[in-house]
Amino acid sequence: MSPHHGRRTLLKNLIVLSGALIGLAAVGLPQQDSSGVSGLDAIAARQASLDMSSITFRSMGDAMKAGRQAESQGYPAAALAKWAKALPRMFPPGTGQGDTSAFSQGLPAIWKDRAGFDQAAANYAAATARLAALAAANDTAGFTKQLEEVSQACGACHARYKAGAQGPPRK
Residues 6+ apart with CB under 8 A from 163: 97, 105, 106, 107
**3-class DSSP assignment, residue 91:** coil
Tens digit of pLDDT for each residue in 127-140? 999 999 999 999 99
Compute the mean pLDDT over every residue in the chain, rounded to the nearest whole number. 84
pTM of the predicted structure, to 2 decimals: 0.76
pLDDT for 9 beyond 70:
no
pLDDT recorded at residue 35: 63
User: Domains in the chain, please, with CATH?
Assistant: 39-161 (1.20.120.10)
